[in-house]
């Protein structure tokens, strides 16, 4: 029987990295801060989980995944409850399931201390429990980091990971803390009172690591590689941690992620003051500069993409949604010269050749484009701020296109002094795999040099945005096992059809996690305005570390 | 039905698409690519002429491979060419997808579309007549305008290859193909003819597009005046003219499709077109391309749209509603007042009739240095002397004119492997006039790509390294097909379809035995050409193909001599520099190996294999502008990269594979695989240096991640090696062949005997191996090879149990084992099985399997000398002596 069938829709997802550019950023920062992740924010989990595995082996000893998972989830849940009852704000940041726990605690009515909290229910039983994943935050976030740091060993088919020697030491150090025994006892209780949990928190809270010197020192040794393991991962992680500590020391009010990024790129603080990075850290500064450089490469492309998506619905209504129509609007938009163009590169117009534009821009960036970069009135930071202004759903605005050209032009100009793109951060065989990067831009600009800016802008949007997105979305669709429809627009009958928009943000380079871990280790302390300052302990470690003294 | 899954799993020889709207970007990057990867190098599109022109217009995103990698013909229907179908054909079978979806991203991925999927196989012939009618329909569409010769010949060749398509079988009792052109009157007339004896009680219409006056809906309602006519629409997105709704017959009611679960409340565009008709006894479903418009349903002959629909009947009146998931709900729904709805209707723009253009180009093709442009209209007012063909910035004058055909000398700019878009220009009525754009099909390039794209695909994947992040199953499939896909030696009566023009040049008539057209690299690599593989491939000193090449070359080059003499190092690269049409040197009768194969046959096989690779290499080098010239050995490395990739298409790496950090890595997520595969390859090449064949690769265990494609590939490789073994003569040659058997002939329960037999016969036939390995006896040969592999695997285990190179060194010293002789077979855990090619001073030996020219030789004491032990020399124990004897016996057979 010739029966009709409905076309089944391909699964759609919001997706990420719609131009295939941000993966390179992730590759770079993953190599600069290996072993920690954006969601592994708390140092004490690296001793807590080994202790959980150790006690499970001791107390239960059954190699059963389900049983271990239930055990683990109870432990995680109790730790978060105890942490939440002992601290606020940053103290509880990164605790697994903290939002669930905070809601639960907020809902408690009346005198708190006598209230009983059903541990089994919160950890395992109800639908809306603290974490949906069967292995909790351990399985989602920490297990890979623990393995990368050499604390555990993941064995295929084994329900419980194996503790490596350092993992056993960490478990033992956690066990020595005063609350560990009480916590172990609490595992058997179905319910715990708020008072009991608060008492537990005085010792085991994620924020109380510094009160347990043996455990603290051991964790510091692991994260800072004090044993001097020469592997690239360990040395790079140590250097990045030292760089964050140095930033906390050199930046006036302490370190903050955005100023850290700014500081490694320009070697200046937000106020324009020079940051005298120590000579021994210069290689890692350069490597982080490369990361930020690629972020600056991301931004104009994504904002040009956003501008297209913002404009498309209106253009469709006007029946002006062919690529040719849009290209004409880009050209028209460039006729409106924003203030920075009029002020800083006054002779540049939409008809200026690309090479001439670069020469003019080089002058605006500084008499000579020196190494390190310097933040001038017209600079990547300036263009970044312009790009982030909303386009308000209008066809291409001159300011966005001009800022995108300025940003890409600045990167091209500075690349002359930085040499081969990415060489300071990753090996060539890694950067060669980047689908789209600064090296592509430089290569393409070398052939586009004779084009007028308007033509170059149209070329860029066509090849780096329109075609690139179609290419990336098709590739994602092509993966047989996870084929997903992530098209934000598509082409139909020669017309660009809007599908969905998305929110764009810079990648998060794990620095926030590194800062929180350093706070846990007592090397940084919270200051105003989201900043963190160096403590005496941190100062001492940094001095020793930079001087090459064994800690 | 998920169309992308369908495309990924289809294995047709020919694909014919019909579409109104065409998205070249989607088609070329996805559909073309996937079908080609599965061996479908013959793809042909029928597209509405005006839509095709729209995609070619400057400022769009025009096709880049049309006319070079696939064929396309714009169809000039009186109003629009509107069918949407996909016909997939092989010599024995067919699949037909007919529906409402255009060849676009939304049409294939997320619109609400309705399709019907029909099959034909020799043992399932119910719909054979529908396929034949569809094929005739395609011919009629091609006759609507002056189609290009290359397209018509391509169709003719498809017909010749699929003769079942050309017959006129009895139609099925309950299914009808309704279409225009062809058919008896309009679609509505054809429908009325079939339903003439039915009293229709319910009509359910689902469609997005309606004519402005709702004339077709009115006529349908009047035709079925006793029926309740229910129109299901997506109110905001359908083109129902609210102003005309009041004038519709009273039996028409509108309903919201979202109330029956379609269209996802407007988020998903409802593009399906269907009319369900129900009598007391039967139900009918008309599905396909026709909207509810006069142009689609009621146009008189030579007017309106070209449409294609299928009418299906079932003896359950509610059957189709049930199938479509709207059973039982319609009676409960509340009709919507379409007069109050803001629909997507917009009044049709009235375009004042202008002068018809003086020429309407409908197709063009380039045959060598001649371009033919086929035209539909010819105005008498043309100043022919001013007529030019314009391609890019180049214009060439008209050189010859016949009715409907204009000839030009080919512009120099139209010789590449990418699409060439041209226009005609002339003076007309005192002004400069330019025609609509058209693609010039390049016959020579098409012959290359449409006929044999497998190697091109492979090369493209490998050269850019993107196969590492792409669809790995496609590579697997490609690899599996690769060796079995060589064209036969002589042209056979039913050749694979190949586009030729009737006036094709001599070059286009060369026999299809001229193999291997290579890479459509531009297509595959785009702007992402990467050179990373070059550095990595440099580490691969041994590969299966290397071994094959050496076997082939050494057979050709080998000087007369005894079996124990080392094989001469074949000077492959030097030979290549002297490439010409000369036959390779054929050995004399005295030099011929003592095998039961005639020298001429051996030579024929060897020559074919080598010339295949040479051509492949030439084209690769040409595509790469000779920037990184490849040697034949490089070709072997390319192949081994592909093999490695296949091998690592797995969840877990083999247990003995260690990353440089010493941690065993797991590859559970595709993203991780994507990230890590190149690293793995890099490590593999590094670890592989100096070994015969890598241990990781050939461990003869049953890995669960072996797919059927990989198994097939290994069978193919095993058969080839088995054949080579029969033509080889030296112990070294046999050793390599045996090692290959070991790797590729491990029995697997995954494959059915029948499947292997079919594959084996195909390999033997395509490679012309019959004189070497008869098709009937392949199984015995293969099993023998597998036995040999098992012998070597068992021997390796026993030898490994004794110890490493240091252990053998100690043993050899203690027992004064003495120096090996040239030709002795040795073993060492790091190198594997090897043999002595040369003795050097200081007890050093040069191994026959060491192709690294930088090698300084190996210390003989670190090896177990299997030959010496088998001859009665000192042995650590009886078990080892026994395995040594078995290895020598097996290899010496």
Whether B751 shows a pLDDT value over 60: the answer reads no
Residues 6+ apart with CB under 8 A from A312: A321, A489, A496, A497, A498
Closest CA to A90 of A515, A534, A536, A538: A515
> What is the rounded distance in angstroms from the CA atom of residue A112 to the CA atom of residue A90?
22
**Contact yes or no for A98/A207 (Cβ under 8 A):** no
Which comes out higher in pLDDT, residue B546 or B99?
A: B99
| B853: CB partners within 8 A, 6+ apart | none
Q: Taken in order B105, B46, A317, B292, is the CA torsion positive or negative?
A: negative
DSSP-assigned letters across all residues of B148-179: -HHHHHHHHHHHHH-GGGTS-PPPPSSEEEEE
Considering only CB atoms, A7 lies closest to which of B1, B51, B528, namely B1
The whole-number average pLDDT for the span A81-96 is: 85
pLDDT attached to residue B843: 74
Whether B341 contacts B235, CB under 8 Å: yes
Task: Kindly report, residue by residue over A357-407, the tens digit of the pLDDT.
Answer: 999 998 888 766 666 677 777 889 999 988 888 765 555 667 899 999 999
Which chain A residues touch B34 with a CB distance below 8 Å? 478
Q: Is residue A27 within 8 Å of residue A430, measured between CB atoms?
A: yes
Span B630-637, average pLDDT: 51
pLDDT at B604: 45
> Which of the given ranges, A486-495, B481-490, B537-546, has the highest pLDDT on average?
A486-495
Inter-chain contact A154–B268, Cβ cutoff 8 Å? no
Residue B14 has pLDDT above 60, yes or no: yes
Pick from B87, B86, B103, B115: nearest CA to B27:
B103
Q: What is the pLDDT of residue B342?
A: 86
CA atoms within a 13 Å half-sphere pointing along the CA-CB vector of B595? 24
What is the Cα–Cα distance from B703 to B649, expressed in whole angstroms? 11
ipTM over 0.85: no
Least confidently predicted of A481-495, B105-119, B241-255: A481-495
B34–A322 C-beta distance less than 8 A: no
Task: Report the distance separating Cα A522 and Cα A534, nearest Å.
Answer: 9
Highest mean pLDDT among A126-135, A308-317, A510-519, B850-859: A510-519
Cβ contact A491–B287 (<8 Å) = no
Q: How confident is the model at residue B642 (pLDDT cuts 50, 70, 90)?
A: very low
The rounded distance, in Å, linking the Cα atoms of A330 and A179 is: 65
**A443 close contact with B: CB closer than 8 A:** no
Neighbours of A529 (CB within 10 A): 7
Between vectors from CA B412 to CA B411 and to CA B413, what angle results, nearest 5°? 90
Instruction: Say yes or no: B241 contacts chain A, CB-CB below 8 A.
Output: no
For the ranges A19-28, A243-252, B34-43, B545-554, which has the lowest average pLDDT?
A: B545-554
Q: Residue B761: its pLDDT value, please? A: 65
> Per the CB < 8 Å rule, is B114 touching A7?
yes
Is the pLDDT at B553 greater than 80? The verdict is no
Percent of chain A with pLDDT over 70: 95
Which residues touch B878 (CB under 8 Å, ≥6 apart)? none
Interfacial B residues in 457-476 facing A (CB < 8 Å): 465, 469-471, 473
In sequence order, the β-bridge partners of residue B48 are: B75
Q: Show the CA angle centred on residue B283, arms to residues B280 and B285, nearest 5°.
A: 155
Q: What pLDDT is recorded for position A133? A: 80
Q: Do B109 and A154 touch (CB under 8 A)?
A: no
List pLDDT tens digits, range B304-339: 999 999 999 999 998 999 899 886 667 788 899 999
Chosen from B527, B536, B667 to mutate, greatest number of chain A CBs within 10 A: B527
The string of pLDDT tens digits covering residues A450-464 is 999 999 999 999 999
Check: CB of residue B851 under 8 Å from CB of residue B834: no
Min Cα distance A147 → chain B (Å) is 9
Q: How far apart are CA A146 and CA A54, in angstroms?
A: 14
Interval B32-82: pLDDT, tens: 878 876 667 789 999 999 999 988 886 567 898 999 889 999 999 999 999
* Chain-centre distance for alpha carbon A413: 27
Concatenating the DSSP letter of every residue in B256-317 gives: EGGGGT-GGGGTS-B---EEEEE-SS-EEEEEES--BSIIIIIPPTTSS-BEEEEEEEESST
Sign of the C-alpha dihedral computed for residues A446, A447, A450 and A456 taken in this order: negative
CA dist B457 and B460 (Å) reads: 5
Interface test with B, best of A315, A463, A493, A497 (most B CBs within 10 A): A493
**pLDDT confidence tier of residue A429, bands split at 50, 70 and 90:** confident
| Range with top average pLDDT, B401-410, B415-424, B513-522 | B401-410
Kindly report the pTM of this predicted structure.
Answer: 0.64
A154 touches chain B (CB under 8 A): yes
Instruction: Tell whether the model's pLDDT for residue B739 goes beyond 60.
Output: no
CB atoms within 10 A of CB B427: 16
pLDDT band at B584 (very low <50, low <70, confident <90, very high): very low
Range of lowest pLDDT (A422-431, B771-780, B882-891): B771-780
- In three-state secondary structure terms, B189 is helix
| B266 contacts chain A (CB < 8 A) | no
Instruction: Judge whether residue B158 has pLDDT over 70.
Output: yes
CA gap B643, B561 in Å, rounded: 35
Contacts of A154 in chain B (CB under 8 A): 666
List all residues of chain B from 98 to 157 with a beta carbon under 8 Å from chain A: 99, 101-102, 104-106, 108-118, 127, 130
Q: Report the mean per-residue pLDDT for chain B.
A: 69
How far apart are alpha carbons A83 and A86 in whole angstroms? Answer: 5
Chain B residues closer than 8 Å to A491 by CB: 23, 25-26, 61, 104-105
Residue A251 reports pLDDT greater than 70: yes
pLDDT of residue B771: 55
Segment A268-287 shows an average pLDDT of 93
Is it the case that residue A207 has pLDDT exceeding 70? yes
pLDDT band at B280 (very low <50, low <70, confident <90, very high): very high
Which of A146-160, A172-186, B780-794, B814-828 shows the highest mean pLDDT? Answer: A172-186
3-state SS string over A366-385? CCCCCCCCCCCCCCHHHHHH
Range in A93-97, B683-687, B782-786 with the lowest mean pLDDT: B683-687
**pLDDT averaged over chain A?**
89
Mean pLDDT of the A505-521 span: 94
On whether any CB of chain A is under 8 Å from the CB of B285, the answer is yes
Chain B residues inside the 8 Å CB shell of A4: 99, 114-116, 274, 285, 287, 312, 320, 323-324
What is the Cα–Cα distance from B316 to B325, expressed in whole angstroms?
A: 15
A164 touches chain B (CB under 8 A): no
- How many CB atoms are located within 10 Å of the residue B277 CB? 26
Q: How far is A491 from chain B (nearest CA, A)?
A: 6
Q: Do B101 and A7 touch (CB under 8 A)?
A: yes
Residue of chain B whose Cα is closest to the Cα of A431: B532
Which pLDDT does position B511 carry in this prediction?
29
Q: For residue A265, is pLDDT > 90? A: yes
pLDDT at B790: 64
CB atoms within 10 A of CB B571: 12
Reply yes or no on whether the pLDDT at B418 is more than 50. Answer: yes
């Amino acid at each position: 029987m010739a029966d009709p069938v409905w076309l089944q829709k391909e699964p759609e997802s919001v997706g990420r990295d719609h131009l295939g550019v941000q993966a390179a950023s992730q590759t770079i920062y993953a190599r600069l801060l290996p072993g920690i992740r954006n969601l592994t924010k708390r140092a004490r989990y690296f001793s807590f989980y080994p202790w959980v595995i150790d006690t499970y082996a001791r107390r239960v000893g059954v190699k059963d995944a389900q049983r271990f998972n239930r055990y683990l989830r109870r432990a995680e849940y109790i730790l978060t409850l105890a942490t939440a009852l002992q601290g606020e704000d940053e103290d509880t940041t990164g605790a697994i399931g903290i939002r669930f726990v905070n809601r639960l605690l907020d809902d408690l009515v009346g005198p708190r201390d006598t209230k009983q909290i059903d541990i089994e229910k919160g950890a395992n039983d109800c639908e809306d429990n603290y974490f949906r994943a069967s292995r909790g935050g351990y399985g989602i976030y920490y297990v890979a980091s623990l393995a990368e740091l050499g604390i555990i060993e993941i064995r295929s088919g084994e329900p419980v990971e194996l503790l490596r020697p350092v993992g056993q030491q960490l478990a033992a150090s956690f066990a020595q803390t005063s609350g560990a025994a009480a916590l172990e006892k609490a595992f058997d209780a179905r319910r715990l009172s708020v008072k009991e949990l608060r008492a537990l928190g005085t010792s085991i809270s994620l924020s109380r690591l510094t009160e347990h010197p043996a455990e603290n020192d051991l964790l510091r040794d692991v994260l800072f590689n004090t044993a001097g393991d020469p592997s690239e991962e360990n040395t790079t992680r140590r250097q990045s941690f030292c760089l964050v500590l140095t930033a906390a020391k050199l930046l006036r009010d302490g370190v903050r992620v955005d100023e850290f990024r700014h500081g490694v790129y320009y070697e200046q603080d937000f106020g324009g003051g020079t940051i005298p990075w120590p000579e021994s850290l210069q290689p890692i500064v350069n490597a982080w500069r490369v990361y930020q450089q690629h972020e600056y490469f991301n931004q104009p492309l994504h904002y040009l993409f956003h501008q297209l998506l913002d404009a498309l619905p209106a253009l469709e209504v006007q029946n002006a949604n062919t690529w040719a129509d849009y290209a004409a609007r880009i050209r028209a938009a460039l006729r409106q010269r924003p203030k920075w163009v009029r002020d800083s590169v006054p002779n540049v117009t939409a008809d200026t050749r690309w090479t001439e534009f670069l020469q003019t821009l080089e002058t605006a960036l500084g008499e000579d484009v020196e190494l390190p970069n310097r933040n001038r009135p017209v600079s990547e930071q300036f263009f970044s701020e312009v790009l982030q202004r909303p386009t308000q759903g209008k066809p291409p605005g001159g300011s966005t296109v001009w800022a995108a050209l300025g940003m890409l032009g600045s990167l091209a100009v500075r690349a002359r002094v930085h040499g081969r793109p990415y060489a300071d951060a990753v090996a060539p065989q890694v950067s060669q795999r980047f689908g789209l990067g600064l090296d592509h831009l430089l290569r393409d600009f070398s052939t586009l040099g004779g084009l007028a800016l308007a033509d170059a802008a149209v070329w860029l949007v066509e090849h780096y945005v329109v075609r690139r997105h179609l290419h990336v979305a098709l590739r994602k669709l092509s993966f047989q096992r996870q084929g997903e429809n992530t098209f934000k627009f598509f082409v139909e009958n020669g017309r660009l059809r809007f599908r969905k928009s998305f929110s764009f943000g810079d990648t998060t380079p794990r620095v926030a996690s590194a800062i929180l871990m350093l706070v846990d280790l007592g090397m940084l302390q919270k200051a105003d305005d989201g900043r963190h300052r160096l403590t005496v302990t941190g100062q001492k470690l940094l001095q020793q570390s930079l001087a090459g003294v064994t800690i | 039905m998920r169309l992308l899954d369908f495309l990924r799993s289809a294995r047709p020889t020919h694909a014919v698409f019909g579409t109104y709207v065409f998205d070249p970007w989607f088609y070329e990057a996805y559909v073309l690519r996937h079908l080609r990867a599965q061996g479908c190098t013959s793809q042909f599109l029928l597209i509405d002429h005006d839509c095709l022109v729209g995609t070619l217009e400057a400022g769009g995103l025009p096709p880049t491979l049309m006319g070079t990698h696939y064929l396309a013909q714009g169809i000039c229907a009186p109003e629009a060419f509107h069918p949407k179908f996909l016909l997939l054909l092989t010599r024995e079978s067919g699949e037909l997808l007919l529906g409402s979806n255009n060849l676009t991203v939304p049409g294939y991925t997320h619109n609400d579309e309705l399709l019907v999927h029909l099959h034909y196989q020799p043992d399932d012939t119910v719909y054979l007549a529908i396929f034949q009618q569809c094929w005739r329909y395609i011919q009629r569409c091609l006759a609507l305008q002056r189609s290009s010769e290359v397209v018509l010949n391509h169709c003719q060749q498809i017909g010749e290859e699929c003769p079942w398509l050309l017959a006129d079988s009895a139609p099925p009792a309950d299914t009808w193909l309704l279409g225009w052109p062809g058919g008896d009157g309009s679609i509505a007339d054809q429908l009325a003819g079939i339903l003439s004896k039915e009293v229709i009680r319910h009509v359910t219409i689902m469609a997005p597009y309606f004519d402005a006056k709702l004339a077709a809906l009115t006529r349908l309602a009047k035709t079925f005046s006793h029926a309740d006519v229910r129109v299901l629409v997506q109110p905001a997105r359908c083109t129902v003219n609210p102003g005309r709704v009041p004038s519709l017959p009273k039996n028409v009611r509108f309903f919201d499709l979202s109330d029956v679960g379609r269209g996802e409340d407007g988020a998903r565009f409802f593009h399906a077109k269907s009319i369900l008709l129900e009598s007391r006894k039967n139900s009918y479903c008309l599905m396909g391309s026709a909207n509810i418009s006069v142009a689609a349903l009621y146009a008189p002959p030579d007017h309106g749209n070209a449409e294609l629909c299928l009418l299906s009947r079932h003896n359950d009146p509610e059957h189709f509603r049930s199938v479509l998931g709207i059973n039982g709900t319609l009676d409960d729904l509340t009709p919507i007042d379409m007069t109050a709805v803001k629909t997507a209707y917009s009044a049709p723009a009235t375009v004042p009739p202008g002068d018809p253009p003086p020429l309407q180009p409908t197709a063009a093709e380039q045959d060598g240095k001649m371009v033919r442009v086929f035209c539909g209209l010819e105005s008498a007012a043309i100043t022919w002397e001013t007529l030019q063909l314009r391609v890019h910035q180049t214009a060439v004058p008209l050189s010859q004119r016949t009715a409907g055909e204009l000839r030009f000398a080919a512009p120099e700019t139209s010789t590449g492997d990418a699409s060439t878009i041209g226009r005609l220009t002339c003076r007309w009525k005192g002004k400069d006039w330019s025609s609509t754009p058209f693609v010039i099909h390049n016959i020579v390039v098409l012959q290359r790509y449409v006929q044999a794209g497998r190697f091109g695909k492979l090369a493209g994947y490998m050269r850019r390294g993107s196969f590492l992040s792409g669809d790995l199953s496609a590579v697997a499939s490609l690899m599996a097909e690769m060796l079995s896909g060589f064209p036969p030696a002589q042209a056979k009566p039913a050749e694979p379809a190949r586009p030729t023009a009737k006036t094709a040049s001599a070059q286009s008539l060369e026999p299809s035995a001229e193999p291997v057209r290579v890479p459509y690299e531009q297509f595959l690599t785009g702007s992402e050409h990467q050179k990373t593989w070059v550095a990595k491939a440099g580490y691969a000193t041994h590969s299966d193909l290397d071994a094959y090449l050496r076997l082939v070359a050494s057979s050709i080059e080998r000087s007369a001599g005894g079996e124990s003499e080392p094989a001469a190092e074949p000077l492959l690269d030097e030979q290549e520099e002297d490439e010409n049409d000369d036959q390779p040197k054929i050995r004399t009768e005295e030099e011929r190996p003592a095998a039961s194969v005639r020298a001429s046959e051996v030579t024929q096989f060897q020559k074919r294999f080598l010339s295949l690779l040479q051509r492949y290499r030439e084209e690769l080098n040409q595509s790469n502008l000779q920037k990184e010239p490849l040697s034949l050995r490089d070709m072997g490395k390319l192949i081994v990269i592909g093999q490695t990739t296949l091998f690592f298409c797995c969840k877990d790496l083999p247990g003995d594979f260690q990353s440089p950090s010493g941690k065993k890595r797991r590859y559970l997520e595709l993203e991780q695989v994507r990230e890590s595969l190149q690293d793995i390859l890099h490590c593999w090449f590094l670890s592989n240096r100096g070994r015969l064949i890598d241990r990781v690769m050939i461990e003869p265990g049953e890995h669960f991640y072996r797919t059927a494609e990989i198994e097939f590939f290994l069978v193919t490789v095993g058969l080839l090696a088995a054949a080579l073994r029969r033509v080889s003569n030296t112990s070294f040659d046999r050793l390599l062949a045996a090692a290959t058997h070991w790797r590729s002939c491990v029995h697997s329960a995954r494959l059915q005997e029948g499947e292997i037999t079919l594959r084996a016969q195909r390999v033997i036939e395509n490679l012309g191996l019959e004189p070497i390995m008869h098709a009937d006896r392949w199984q015995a040969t293969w099993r023998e090879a597998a036995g040999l592999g098992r012998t070597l695997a068992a021997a390796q285990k026993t030898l490994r149990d004794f110890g490493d190179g240091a252990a053998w060194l100690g043993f050899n010293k203690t027992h004064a084992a003495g120096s090996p002789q040239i030709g002795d077979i040795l073993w060492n855990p790091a190198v594997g099985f090897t043999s002595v090619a040369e003795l050097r001073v200081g007890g050093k030996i040069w191994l026959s399997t060491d192709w690294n020219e930088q090698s300084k030789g190996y210390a003989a004491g670190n090896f177990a000398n299997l030959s010496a032990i088998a001859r009665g020399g000192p042995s650590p124990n009886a078990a080892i002596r026994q395995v040594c004897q078995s290895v020598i016996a097996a290899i010496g057979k």
